[in-house]
Amino acid sequence: MTGEFRLRIHETLPSTQSLAMELAARGEPAGLAILARRQTEGRGRAGRPWQSQAGNLHISILLRPSGPARDIAGYSLLAAVALHEAALHHAPGRPLELKWPNDLMEGGAKLAGILTEAALDERGGIAHLVFGIGVNLAHAPEVEGRRVTALAPIPPEDFAATLLGRLAHWRKLRLTEGFAPIRAAWMERGPERGTVLTLRQGDNPVSGRYEGLAEDGGLLLATGGRLHAFHAGELMERHDASRD
């Protein structure tokens, strides 16, 4: 047990995420965390494979929050804030930054990512959601077209304990104060306002100046003389607005 979470450690699994989603569908109570030292079929966002070397963190965490489907994105941001704090706890002083919606970066290189999957109940509310979190601790596996980095050779179970503690903290805060403090915390750890970001939605890239997060966690970009909120897409490029 790690606080309110039940941590199960496996030497090898095809995918912590697939197992957690399967158990959730069978009625597994909230608070389950599954850690695998190695995965053979790890996956990230958009079905991309996630290379899973021993020494890195591969964990999936099951929650059953009550609320409408629109809250799912906010929970992803909550997990990202907890991940950022856990990483800084183990590597204080590192220039870590969040990339919308929930990647952890250092100097433009990816260090960790979160895959959030959910199922809805018959009323359209959240039945369960699972965070699949991968963190490059000891290794930075190559990813075509992307820069990657690693945090430090920390035992994955030690990092997991810190992460679960920070998740518990932010979940309690959300229950008492709502999404606003999570939104504020994410923006403190995200890009500077005015940074030019390029968001890809299908084959249509959109560039604009970052203006924070909307009240529901959407990405605010100023483009075409207007402020737009985006709720889906992948950030592709970044450069300082002062260079435009």
Q: pTM of the prediction? A: 0.92
Q: Which residue has the tokens 């030497």?
A: 11
The domain segmentation of the chain, as residue ranges, is: 6-189, 196-243
**Whole-number pLDDT of residue 46:** 53
Nearest to 28, CA basis, from 17, 20, 18: 20
The stretch 82-101 carries a mean pLDDT of: 97
**Whole-number pLDDT of residue 97:** 97
**Whole-number pLDDT of residue 48:** 62
Neighbours of 57 (CB within 10 A): 26
Q: Is 188 exposed, middle or buried (0-12, 13-18, 19+ CB in 10 A)?
A: exposed
The CATH number of 196-243 is which of 2.60.40.10, 2.30.30.100, 3.40.50.140, 1.10.600.10?
2.30.30.100
Question: Which residue type, as a one-letter code, is found at position 212?
Answer: G
Could you tell me the pLDDT band of residue 236, with boundaries at 50, 70 and 90?
confident
Contact 224, 207 (CB under 8 A): no
pLDDT digits (tens, 9 = 90+) for 128-145: 999 999 999 999 988 777
Domain 6-189 sits in CATH at 3.30.930.10
Exposure string over 79-111, b if 16+ CB within 10 A, otherwise e? bbbbbbbbbbebbeeeebbbbbbbbbbbeeebb
SS3 61: strand
The stretch 182-210 carries a mean pLDDT of: 93
- Provide Rg for the chain, Cα atoms: 17
The stretch 146-170 carries a mean pLDDT of: 96
User: Mean pLDDT, the chain, as a whole number?
Assistant: 92
Inform me whether the pLDDT recorded for 151 exceeds 70: yes
Instruction: Give the integer Cα–Cα distance in Å for 208 and 241.
Output: 9
